Amino acid sequence: MDIKKLQTLVVDALEDVKGQDIQVFDTVHLTSLFDRIAVVSGTSNRQTKALAASVRDKVKSSGGDVVGMEGEDTGEWVLVDLGDMIVHIMQPAIRQYYRLEEIWGDKPVKLGAAKRKSTPEAEDAAVAKPVSKHLASTQAAPEVKPVRETKAPAAKKAATKTTAAKKPAASKAVGKVVKVAPSKTETAAVAALKSLPPKRVRAVKEPAAPANAVPEKKVIKRIKKTEE
């Protein structure tokens, strides 16, 4: 049996019984005894035994050979020998202790859509299904074309600038001065102010002499009368 088909059958059998953390490694460069190794976890003894039985039955029904099985009595670590491929079904504690991934895990095999290419389910899925024209989700989105902005030629821009330069600046509006005649009340007040007598100028008093000041001496000259 082709190794790719064999590994696909093994992974499908493990997934049917809800195997956890399924990993497949390419061991061609490490040993000549087998080409692939698979490691999977089972949560209980019953599940590990069911996983091993699922792998055995699926490989046999597809025409493959099952060389042997070991560890079915305890269920902690069940080994299924398929000749070109070895399947290790382990409980989480046993798997964490032995760490087979560190020994054989140089080249992991990616498990995805490629592993199901040989199955009839994958072949049915590959056939294009008819698309309903009534559903909006199946309609193709319209193509969006980019909008190109057209730039004005340089000559038009220059003409626009020249026209704007020739326009005179807007003249500022100047308000007219309107003379208003004085009212009668204002005229009467001005006439009353003019008829008032002029203000009197008060005489400035000389400052009084201090008490300690010495009085000035007055000199009296006598004039002799001449006899005629």
For 2-13, what is each residue's pLDDT tens digit?
A: 899 999 999 999
CB atoms within 10 A of CB 205: 6
Place of tokens 């382990």: 90
The pLDDT of 97-102, averaged and rounded, is 93
What CATH number is given to the structural domain containing 65?
A: 3.30.460.10
H/E run at residue 39: strand 36-41
Largest CA distance in the chain: 195
In a domain, 203, yes or no: no
Domain extent, residue 46, equals 3-108
Instruction: Check residue 25 and give its pLDDT.
Output: 95
CB atoms within 10 A of CB 109: 17
Min mean pLDDT across 10-14, 113-117, 141-145, 166-170 is at: 113-117
In a domain, 138, yes or no: no
Q: Is 85 exposed, middle or buried (0-12, 13-18, 19+ CB in 10 A)?
A: buried
Instruction: Check residue 190 and give its pLDDT.
Output: 75
Label residue 46 by pLDDT band (50, 70, 90).
very high
In a domain, 47, yes or no: yes
The pLDDT of 158-163, averaged and rounded, is 57
* Structural domains counted in the chain: 1
Cβ(12)–Cβ(6) below 8 Å: no
Per-residue pLDDT of 192-228, as tens digits, reads 777 776 666 555 555 665 666 555 655 566 666 555 4
